[in-house]
Amino acid sequence: MAKHQFLFSTFTADELEILAQLKRLFERMQCDSELLEAVGQNNVSTGQLKRLKETGILFDLSDFPFANEKQQNTMLFILAVSKNNEDELDDDIKQFAELYPLLKLWAKYNNLLCKQHSR
């Protein structure tokens, strides 16, 4: 089985669709500093939302912890998952992650992708 085939077979079709949307959004934010700032401040304009929807980003942005005040917990969780140290996280970060299933999905994907590249 090809490397990417194994990675993608780990997820359902719905999860792959959400992962593609997340990846697309991250790429858009890298190229658009105004969008990056708006997402970080939880202040995305109607026009920005319209453009996101036109490019296939359909999930509610509040379903992922993008806001600046949440970024530390977000990064701590993703880092812990990538190092297989989820059990060592503080309870408040574990509870934080439970509020955001898309964060858990992205962390799982990121972890598997990193493992695949390190082989």
- Over pLDDT 90: what percentage of the chain? 57
User: Given this model, what pLDDT does residue 2 score?
Assistant: 62
In eight-state DSSP terms, residue 84 is T
Distance of alpha carbon 47 from alpha carbon 58, whole angstroms: 14
Whether the CB-CB separation of 35 and 29 falls below 8 Å is answered with: yes
User: Given this model, what pLDDT does residue 71 score?
Assistant: 87
pTM equals: 0.85
pLDDT, one tens digit per residue, over 3-40 is 667 677 889 999 999 999 999 999 999 999 999 999 99
User: Given this model, what pLDDT does residue 18 score?
Assistant: 96
User: Given this model, what pLDDT does residue 119 score?
Assistant: 63
pLDDT band at 111 (very low <50, low <70, confident <90, very high): confident
The dihedral through the CA atoms of 61, 29, 89, 83 has a sign that is positive
